[in-house]
Structure 1
Amino acid sequence: MKFAAVLNRDGGTLRNADLAALCDRMCQTLETAGHSLSIDVVAGKDLVDALDGATSRRSVDIVLAGGGDGTISAAAARLMGTKKALAILPAGTMNLFARGLGIPQSLEAALKSFTDGEIIAVDMATANGRPFVHQFSIGMHAKMVQLRQKMEFGSRLGKIRASVKAAWATINNPPAMNVTLSIGKAEIAARITGIGITNNLFGEGHLPYADNPAGGVLGVYVTVAQQRTELLKFFFNMARGKWRDNQHVEIHQADRTVLKIHSGSSKFRAVMDGELVRLDRETTVEIQPGALNVLVPASIAKAEAA
Structure 2
Amino acid sequence: MTEPSPLFVIFNRASGRGDRDEVGPAVEAACAAAGRRCELLPVEQPGQLAEKAQEAVRRARAVGGIVVAAGGDGTINGVAQAVLGSGCRFGVLPRGTFNYFARTHGIPTDLDGALRVLLTEDAVAVQVGQVNDRVFLVNASLGLYSQLLQDREAWKRQFGRSRLVALGAGIKTLLSGHRSLRLSVELPGRTRQVRTPTLFVGNNALQMEQVGLPVADAIDHGCLAGVMLKPVGRWAMLALLARGAFGRLGEADQLLKLSFRCLTVKARRFGSRQLKVATDGEVLKMRLPLRFQVAPQPLLLIRPPGLAPERREAQAQHGTEAGA
TM-score (norm 2): 0.83
Deviation at 1:290, TM superposition (A): 4.7
Retained in 2: the 8 A contact 1:3–1:37?
yes
Picking from 232, 236, 253, the partner of 2:238 is 232
Q: Which moved more, 1:250-259 or 1:32-41?
A: 32-41
Partner of 1:204: 209
What amino acid sits opposite 2:129 in the alignment? A
Supply the distance in 2 between the matched residues of 1:61 and 1:129 (Cα, whole angstroms): 25
Supply the distance in 1 between the matched residues of 2:43 and 2:16 (Cα, whole angstroms): 13
Higher strand share: 1
Picking from 46, 50, 57, the partner of 1:55 is 57
Partner of 2:263: 257
Which runs of structure 1 show a deviation greater than 6 angstroms over 4 or more consecutive aligned residues?
303-306
Partner of 2:24: 23
Partner of 2:294: 287
Supply the distance in 2 between the matched residues of 1:18 and 1:190 (Cα, whole angstroms): 45
Deviation at 1:174, TM superposition (A): 1.9
Supply the distance in 1 between the matched residues of 2:40 and 2:185 (Cα, whole angstroms): 44
- 1:153 is paired with a residue whose SS is helix
Q: Figure out how many residues of one structure are paired with residues of the other and give that number.
A: 301
Picking from 249, 252, 271, the partner of 1:243 is 249
For the structure 1 residues 244 and 140, does the alpha-carbon distance in structure 2 shift closer, same or farther, using more than 3 Å as the test?
same
Q: Residues 149-203 of structure 1: CA distance to partner in whole angstroms, max 9, x if unpaired?
A: 444336322x741552344233440221111111222222121011111226554
Deviation at 1:266, TM superposition (A): 6.3
Retained in 2: the 8 A contact 1:121–1:214?
no
Supply the distance in 2 between the matched residues of 1:169 and 1:125 (Cα, whole angstroms): 26
Supply the distance in 1 between the matched residues of 2:254 and 2:262 (Cα, whole angstroms): 23
Deviation at 1:120, TM superposition (A): 0.3
Retained in 2: the 8 A contact 1:200–1:214?
no
For the structure 1 residues 107 and 165, does the alpha-carbon distance in structure 2 shift closer, same or farther, using more than 3 Å as the test?
same
Matches within 5 A, 1:135-154: 135-151=139-155, 152-153=157-158
Partner of 1:277: 284
Q: Residues 5-59 of structure 1: CA distance to partner in whole angstroms, max 9, x if unpaired?
A: 010001112xx2151x432221222332232211122212322211111001111
Supply the distance in 2 between the matched residues of 1:160 and 1:90 (Cα, whole angstroms): 19
The percent identity for this pair of structures is 23
Deviation at 1:239, TM superposition (A): 3.3
> Which runs of 5 or more residues in structure 1 are unaligned?
none
Supply the distance in 1 between the matched residues of 2:70 and 2:132 (Cα, whole angstroms): 27
For the structure 1 residues 216 and 267, does the alpha-carbon distance in structure 2 shift closer, same or farther, using more than 3 Å as the test?
closer
> Which runs of 5 or more residues in structure 2 are unaligned?
313-321
Q: Residues 60-87 of structure 1: CA distance to partner in whole angstroms, max 9, x if unpaired?
A: 4211111111110111111112221111
Q: Which moved more, 1:68-77 or 1:274-283?
A: 274-283
Deviation at 1:254, TM superposition (A): 0.9
Considering only aligned residues, what root-mean-square deviation do their CA atoms show, in Å? Answer: 2.8
Q: Residues 283-302 of structure 1: CA distance to partner in whole angstroms, max 9, x if unpaired?
A: 1111125521101025659x
Retained in 2: the 8 A contact 1:204–1:243?
no
Q: Which moved more, 1:265-274 or 1:285-294?
A: 265-274
For the structure 1 residues 56 and 154, does the alpha-carbon distance in structure 2 shift closer, same or farther, using more than 3 Å as the test?
farther
Q: Which moved more, 1:118-127 or 1:41-50?
A: 41-50
Supply the distance in 2 between the matched residues of 1:26 and 1:271 (Cα, whole angstroms): 31
Supply the distance in 1 between the matched residues of 2:31 and 2:264 (Cα, whole angstroms): 44
Retained in 2: the 8 A contact 1:122–1:213?
no
Supply the distance in 2 between the matched residues of 1:238 and 1:87 (Cα, whole angstroms): 30
- 1:156 is paired with a residue whose SS is coil
What amino acid sits opposite 1:216 in the alignment? G
